[in-house]
Structure 1
């Protein structure tokens, strides 16, 4: 098996709110948009982020675990500078992200802040000055 990810699929409770947040708020472009079912966004040369309405997700994949707390996953958007971290977090704020945490300088030398989309999926916006951080920058 090749060492790669082709799709990341997230179950969402309100596909219209997800569409408004990512397309209208963040300015992303849909690669595939089937109202009431799925929204797909190409996020890398060979990577698609798929937002699947939870009813369809559960029908195919199985029951979603529900309860208090955060989903045990984060998504990350790495950038080259602290100013870009600030700009992305501000864009997320204007798009309606809640919560949004201010950037923090981390012990490992980077800077990170977080925002949550309408379903509570948390995105890390980060500058990672190490070699692995350079691997993910365009």
Structure 2
């Protein structure tokens, strides 16, 4: 798996309140779909997304404390680290590398509702990662991830 982070997604309780908080810090939102806020932060992206929606999308059951899935239940911190890659095939390769290293796959790679392709895993301590190909964003040769036109 490539040694970089492209995206940090924070699960928030109120998207508009969180967006305004980051604006008050002087951050400028980038082009974003309706239910998420993206901020270009140098060569990576910080995203704000409703916590429950992020959990569902990541394959985490935050309502069940007895769930055996790593990171599930109330202990899930509402954070997702992301690695954006340049193709769907790279998603499959990177996820296979993570699984071979001991990761637990929470969501197999698949085409996503937003037009990209991604899979989700937890590392050996339960930290949640998504490996994604977003056709609307640019991944530069040096690994920077740049927002696109607001899709995806």
TM-score where L is the length of structure 2: 0.43
Length-normalised TM-score, structure 1: 0.47
Indicate the structure whose relative CO is greater, using CA pairs within 8 Å and at least 6 residues apart: 2
